[in-house]
With several copies, the nearest count.
Chain A
Amino acid sequence: MNLQPIIRADGLCRRQGLRWVLVHLNFELQTGESLLLAGGNGAGKSTLLRLLSTLTPPSQGELELFGTSVKVNRRPQRNRIGLLGHTNQLYPELTPSDHLQLWSRLAGMELPKGLLDRVELADRAHDPARTFSAGMCKRLALARLMLLNPDLILLDEPFGQLDAQGVSLMQEAVEGWRDQGKTVVLATHLIERGKPLCDRALLLAHGRLKWTGPAAELSASMVAGADS
């Protein structure tokens, strides 16, 4: 594993509409490290994750992923990024097995067996996704990340909507990725669940970086205090 930073943000700013949502963020993340994004509602976590996914460009400042700026050709970077955001990126009319087939074909890989079993959707493999409950959609979205196994994995509120089994599935997945040396960035309000999974934490408040340090040192009171 090299020690080149996989993410390097330098004066990173993002404006949405009339509002500066992210202001002058400076941070680095080494390959294989995992990062916990904390912050109150509206702090800018989801926006930062979309920036890191290259789906939205920075309004100002510099963002480097895998050592190259996102302003240059993003195609090679994109193939190495996986995002699980507020949406699940599913087609309502397609079934889980359709989805898996599509994703594996797109990535040009073999479809591993038993993936749907792992996310406990095997008995619903041929029902369209529009008939799924909130947690089942999330599980299918997780299966996508398990399949693609990208180098940089961005998770926005990964524990939302999942039941206890789903949560431990997600935790195992994150641990598995960490063991493989993948980089995980995880934004959540349930910091007690997030902390054991992450090396470092980054606390946002009103779009500004309030604190960064080892994840274990982050406490609920720090998050609550950051907002005011």
Chain B
Amino acid sequence: MTRQRVAAAFALVGLGLLSWGSYLGLWVAPPDRYMGDVQRIMYVHVPTAWLALVVFTLAFVYALLFLIRRTWRWDALHEATLEIGVLYTALLCIQGALWGKPTWGVYWAWDPRLTTVAVMLLSFAGILSLRHFLDDPLRRASWSATATILASANVPVVYYSVRWWNSLHQLQSTPKTVNSAMVEPLRINAFGLLALTIALIMIRSWIAEARRRRDLAPPLPEIEA
């Protein structure tokens, strides 16, 4: 019971902070000098980006822990972080594309950060789909953990190589010093999303664990001679 309370508390705090931050971002903060109101997407975009990275980092950690410890808890958390991470990166790409159209004039640019996000999305979506095609729970857990480790090890290399690949075609404006009226909603939203993410990971990993328990604990322990 207490676990559920903690998750609910995190979810409530997260939602509360998110709505407060979004209120500040949408109505209180001043519009951007160059981009105008469109720039307000930033208040969700940047927290989504940060959290996506955090969640994938966690996925890597959980995958490693599973391979070392071989306990199902880490697999449940691994599954949860994989799925939430893929969700966030997908959202990130959609938000970014919606923002990119008015600011850059294109939905997508082959800029290192964006490209890395796309590669991450594909890599981890592939791992989710791999999990789907493996019936045996142990195989699923250890093979997908392997794939997660490989994919995570790859992300920095991708970033580095794409940045270099593309060094001549910088499209993105360098992050300008954001004015303090903008910092506050950003920070609030980031913490809100963090709390919500913690709640989501908890809940999703319970689901995974419950499924595994349903799948794995013998429902028929009739002891016979």
Q: State if A and B touch, Cβ cutoff 8 Å.
A: yes
Query: A60 and B224: CB pair below 8 A?
Result: no
Task: Provide the residues of chain A in CB contact with B222, threshold 8 Å.
Answer: 23
Residue among A57, A59, A208, A209 with the highest chain B CB neighbour number at 10 A? A59
Of A13, A18, A56, the contact of B215 (CB 8 Å cutoff): A18
Q: Closest CB of chain A to B138's CB: distance in Å?
A: 6
Indicate if the CB atoms of A17 and B135 lie closer than 8 Å. Answer: yes
Query: Is B216's CB under 8 angstroms from A59's CB?
Result: yes
A208 near B224: Cβ-Cβ < 8 Å: yes
Q: Which of B165-192 contact A (CB under 8 A)?
A: none
Other-chain residue from A16, A208, A209 in contact with B136 (beta carbon distance below 8 A): A16
Contact assessment for B216 and A60 in the assembled complex, using a CB-CB cutoff below 8 Å: yes
Given contacts A17-B135, A24-B223, A208-B224, whether A60 and B218 have CB atoms under 8 Å apart is yes
Min CB gap B142→A, angstroms = 10
A86 at the interface (CB under 8 A from B): no
Question: Which residues on the A side are within 8 Å of B135 (C-beta)?
Answer: 16-17
B1 within 8 A of A: no
For residue A62, give the distance in angstroms from its CB to the closest CB of chain B: 14
Residue B68 at the chain A interface, CB threshold 8 Å: no
Residues of chain B lying within 8 A (CB to CB) of residue A15: 137, 215-216, 218
In angstroms, Cα B224 to Cα A18, docked, is 22
Give the distance to chain B from A50, nearest Cβ to Cβ, in Å: 11
From 11 to 41 in chain A, residues with beta carbon under 8 angstroms from any chain B beta carbon are 13, 15-18, 20, 23-24
**B221 part of interface (Cβ distance < 8 Å):** yes
Q: In whole angstroms, what is the CA distance A8 to B223 when docked? A: 18
- In chain A, positions 199-223 with a C-beta closer than 8 Å to chain B are 208-209
Chain B hits for A209, CB < 8 A: 224
| B-chain residues with CB within 8 Å of residue A60 when the two chains form the complex | 216-218
Are A13 and B138 in contact, CB atoms less than 8 angstroms apart? no
Does B216 lie within 8 Å of A24, measured CB to CB?
no
- Please indicate the chain A residues that have their CB under 8 angstroms from the CB of B216 in the complex: 15, 59-60
Contact status of A23 and B220, CB under 8 A, knowing A15-B215, A18-B215:
yes
A24 contact set on B, CB distance < 8 A: 218, 221, 223-224
Chain A contacts to B: CB under 8 angstroms: 13, 15-18, 20, 23-24, 56-57, 59-60, 208-209
18 CB-based A-B contacts, threshold 8 Å: A13-B218, A15-B215, A15-B216, A15-B218, A16-B135, A16-B136, A18-B215, A20-B218, A20-B220, A23-B222, A24-B223, A24-B224, A56-B136, A57-B138, A59-B138, A60-B216, A60-B218, A209-B224
Chain A to chain B: the 8 pairs with minimum beta-carbon distance, closest first: A17-B135, A13-B218, A20-B218, A57-B138, A59-B216, A15-B216, A208-B224, A23-B220
